[in-house]
Structure 1
Amino acid sequence: MADTATGAAPDRARASEQGAVGRFLQATEIDTRMLGMVGALVLIWLGLHFLSGGLFLTPRNLWNLSVQSASIAVMATGMVLVIVTRNIDLSVGSILGFVGMIMGVLQVTILPQMAGIAQGSPALWILALLAGLGVSLLIGAFQGFLVAYLSIPAFIVTLGGLLVWRGAAWWVTSGQTVAPMNPTFRLIGGGPEGSIGAFWSWVVGLAACAAVAVLLANGRRQRRRFKFPQRPVWAEVFLGALACVLILGAVGVANSYPWPAAIVRRYAQANNLSVPDGGLFIAHGIAIPVLIAVAVGIVMTFLTNRTRFGRYVFAIGGNPEAAALAGINTRWVLLKIFALMGLLAGVAAAISTARLNAATNAQGTLDELLTIAAAVIGGTSLAGGAGTIAGAMLGALLMQSLQSGMVLLGIDTPLQNIVVGAVLVVAVWLDTLYRKRA
């Protein structure tokens, strides 16, 4: 009898504890899948920090990690829509390399020599950027046409694109590297001058916190207007406070990473500044490519959640036949999805080329693997119909964290590829288990 009572007490305590956690998650409406991904990212960071001897979780490495993740994060937002509609795009890395080569050739050779535009002219990088984005948009639209209107499987079309555009990148310059890029164009890639500094970083951070508060208040007002269930006030305050802590914490890390001493000395000499004995501390702040990636994420989130196009995308992914019967022009929507994916690959090409200050034939190699892995790890189901932009961007950060950590640990590139491939397989397996349980 005593044994029965003793065994029942822990069961009741465990049920009570689970009930409290469940009530908290229900009140805050936190996505458990996203929460698990954040937990996995934290564990990976702590493990890599320990294994690297305290080198991983430093302002310098975290700042570099954010810049390195930007191009993959941008493409992952488009890959979400592609995979949601039960398709795939294997060509994004090759498109990145081809478009990056076009941007480089336009800046270094074609526009200065044929059009007489000086290297330092703003028109040079603007025309090169617009031309590159236009080419990437056309490439994506062409592949989308083949998939949507000629009914060629996306796997075959984009696999062919992977080979075609990689070969085209070599053909543009016969395999030669093109450098250097326009000084203003290079700001897109980050670096000391390609960051907004400490003051403007805090301004952006505070503005983001204000935007979070406005969004929460507006969401609460809309729920009241349409008589939807509302979150408790404490849950709204918790979510707002958590978001602000994360935002301001990220800004604090970015502002903790100073310019290199040599660049500071040149900057001080150019501006007639005296350098104290302890050195002059100039913070990097948030990098421009990170701001570009965040802006793309916000636009893509709005596009998927607040527009008719976004609703059509998820309707097609959920049930293509029912979507067609409901009057959705599924072919036109698919073409626009692939065109958008191509455009985002062009944006990523600009970031990558500016960061390298060169256009190379190896640029974007295997980026399609990282992009697909980021989307899948972020919760985008290969079965279609489910996925989030925020999850894909978090997945891009997770994938880049693995690569950055393995570089710090001195792991060879072949083994890095093995790890990335294994992570992708495990992510798909976990997605399968999650869908069965759901």
Structure 2
Amino acid sequence: MSDTSPQGQNGSPLTRFLRATEIDTRLLGMIGALMLIWFGFHFYGAIFGNGGYFLTPRNLWNLSVQTSSIGIMATGMVLVIVTRNIDLSVGAVLGLTAMIMGILQVNILPQYLGLGHPMIWVITVVVGMIAGTIIGTFQGWLIAYRGIPAFIVTLGGLLVWRGCAFLSAGGRTISPVDPSFALLGGGPYGAVGETGSWIAGILACVGVVWMLHSGRKLRQEHDFKLRPMWAEVFLAVVGCGTIIGAVLLVNAYPWPRGIVNAYATANNITVPPEGLFISHGFAIPVLILVAVGIFMTILMTRTRFGRYVFAIGGNPEAAALAGINTKWMTLKIFALMGMLAGLAGVVASARLNSATNALGVFDELYVIAAAVIGGTSLAGGVGTIYGAILGALVMQSLQTGMVLIGFDTSVQQIVVGSVLVLAVYLDNLYRKTVK
């Protein structure tokens, strides 16, 4: 069953292609913007003398790790903004949960379990995510059941939780964290290596093909319009090609020579004269982000919870009249946001190998910007998880590129703020065009 209607045959070749493949035009716009940023910074560096280091396996690998914590929180911010709310406290929640986890694994658990006990990192991660969930639940309760605007509650939370983080350790930096916990932040040992990356890549390709097949089968069962078979094959090839390209990229980034030599000495491995090439592979934080993205996408698109979220964002009054408990939904959304902030605190503190009072500062701005740039409308009712993750990658690419070419911090802030305003303006134009 294919589109043989007059509408399906009319229009330019590009229009017919987009209609057949059902590719989101916003997605194409974000990918185009991302490519423009990447190649722009690379050629700027190459022309003006710093070597054009942006498009290298090393920089892109580090970029993926740096994007992870912002991307994790951005997936939750989509739900918050879709329901016409805002959360300004996520950076402070990240900082507080990171400090709680730092104190727990450095000062408390080793006294009872012993230094280096394998359960220390597990307990720490669970406690951090529970702490974030409790904070999010409390804020959601104030918003939903006490009628305080989300802007005020989370603005107050930004100040309160940041102050609590400072007081909890007396302003000290807690370090170093548990070695096993530190692996969750990436680094040579915090990656799955070449073989693990190929396994992850193959599984991801199988998942892409399965999703396309099951989606087509589901359309047939409900007698919905099908994509042409060539469009299904095209999407499968592009999806699997992107995954394989990512695997090749992360496997092209080797361990530093000093770490290779230390590893070889510890494992009685003879290093040849030309050196030993050991691939990083996918970093653990990136795999965590991918897992969160898949879970949140399923939650938003395949469950009653997700349908309720969009219903509330589209028309809160109509959703309440339809029998949706909007207050309970709001509380759960903020609880989920808090849990994701706690998980982002795990990744951020593990990557830094410490918990500091500066952790998470301004992250709330980057998270909101990532969601908005990714197509989440501040008017509510519209947003995608993959868009937010791409938005986080765009924001981090801008920041990383400006650092590489030597832009001052003040210039970086100007650019980020300008991009956020531009994203909202383009979102308004897009919604007017759609209408």
Once the two structures are TM-superposed, the CA of residue 18 in structure 1 deviates from its matched residue by 5.8
Pairs within 5 Å for 1:189-268: 189-268=185-264
State the Cα deviation string for residues 62-94 of structure 1 (Å, max 9, x = none): 000000000000000000000000000000000
2:210 is paired with a residue of what secondary structure? helix
1:124 aligned partner, one-letter code: I
- Which has the higher Rg, Structure 1 or Structure 2? 1
Once the two structures are TM-superposed, the CA of residue 125 in structure 1 deviates from its matched residue by 1.5
2:23 is paired with a residue of what secondary structure? coil
Once the two structures are TM-superposed, the CA of residue 119 in structure 1 deviates from its matched residue by 2.2
On the 8 A contact 1:197/1:285 being kept in 2, the answer is yes
Residue in 1 that maps onto 2:44: 51
| 2:17 counterpart of 1:24 | yes
2:84 aligned partner, one-letter code: R
Shift in alpha-carbon separation, 1:121–1:333, aligned structure 2, 3 A: same
User: Aligned to 1:108, which of 91, 106, 109?
Assistant: 106
On the 8 A contact 2:143/2:149 being kept in 1, the answer is yes
When the two chains are superposed, the root-mean-square deviation of aligned CA atoms in Å is 1.0
2:146 is paired with a residue of what secondary structure? coil
Residue in 1 that maps onto 2:78: 80
User: Aligned to 2:414, which of 408, 411, 418?
Assistant: 418
Residue in 1 that maps onto 2:393: 397
Residue in 1 that maps onto 2:424: 428
| 2:375 counterpart of 1:373 | no
Residue in 1 that maps onto 2:303: 307
1:278 is paired with a residue of what secondary structure? coil
2:179 is paired with a residue of what secondary structure? coil
Work out the CA distance in 2 between the residues paired with 1:34 and 1:422: 21
| 2:356 counterpart of 1:356 | no
On the 8 A contact 2:110/2:116 being kept in 1, the answer is no
Work out the CA distance in 2 between the residues paired with 1:17 and 1:427: 31
1:122 is paired with a residue of what secondary structure? coil
Once the two structures are TM-superposed, the CA of residue 131 in structure 1 deviates from its matched residue by 1.1
Work out the CA distance in 2 between the residues paired with 1:415 and 1:149: 42
Once the two structures are TM-superposed, the CA of residue 112 in structure 1 deviates from its matched residue by 2.1
State the Cα deviation string for residues 24-61 of structure 1 (Å, max 9, x = none): 00000000111111111111110011112220000000
On the 8 A contact 1:107/1:119 being kept in 2, the answer is no
Work out the CA distance in 2 between the residues paired with 1:136 and 1:97: 10
Work out the CA distance in 2 between the residues paired with 1:119 and 1:236: 53
Residue in 2 that maps onto 1:10: none
State the Cα deviation string for residues 80-117 of structure 1 (Å, max 9, x = none): 0000000000000000000000000001112223xx22
Once the two structures are TM-superposed, the CA of residue 370 in structure 1 deviates from its matched residue by 0.4
2:190 aligned partner, one-letter code: G
| 2:141 counterpart of 1:122 | no
Once the two structures are TM-superposed, the CA of residue 395 in structure 1 deviates from its matched residue by 0.3
2:388 aligned partner, one-letter code: A
Work out the CA distance in 2 between the residues paired with 1:320 and 1:382: 14
1:52 is paired with a residue of what secondary structure? helix
Residue in 1 that maps onto 2:87: 89
On the 8 A contact 2:370/2:389 being kept in 1, the answer is yes
Percent of paired sites with the same residue: 64
| 2:333 counterpart of 1:340 | no
Once the two structures are TM-superposed, the CA of residue 122 in structure 1 deviates from its matched residue by 1.4
State the Cα deviation string for residues 126-150 of structure 1 (Å, max 9, x = none): 1111111111000000000000000
Work out the CA distance in 1 between the residues paired with 2:245 and 2:275: 25
| 2:157 counterpart of 1:164 | no
1:27 aligned partner, one-letter code: A
On the 8 A contact 1:79/1:372 being kept in 2, the answer is yes
Work out the CA distance in 2 between the residues paired with 1:325 and 1:17: 41
Work out the CA distance in 2 between the residues paired with 1:96 and 1:395: 19
2:377 is paired with a residue of what secondary structure? coil
On the 8 A contact 1:74/1:296 being kept in 2, the answer is yes
TM-score (norm 1): 0.95
Which ranges of 4 or more aligned residues in structure 1 deviate by more than 2 Å?
none
Work out the CA distance in 2 between the residues paired with 1:49 and 1:416: 17
1:381 is paired with a residue of what secondary structure? coil
On the 8 A contact 1:137/1:342 being kept in 2, the answer is yes
TM-score (norm 2): 0.96
Work out the CA distance in 2 between the residues paired with 1:209 and 1:359: 37
Unaligned runs of 5+ in 2: 1-8, 47-51
User: Aligned to 2:64, which of 63, 66, 69?
Assistant: 66
State the Cα deviation string for residues 322-362 of structure 1 (Å, max 9, x = none): 00000000000000000000000000000000000000000
State the Cα deviation string for residues 238-266 of structure 1 (Å, max 9, x = none): 00000011001011100000000000000
2:338 aligned partner, one-letter code: G
Work out the CA distance in 1 between the residues paired with 2:87 and 2:273: 54
| 2:328 counterpart of 1:328 | no
Unaligned runs of 5+ in 1: 1-15
| 2:264 counterpart of 1:271 | no
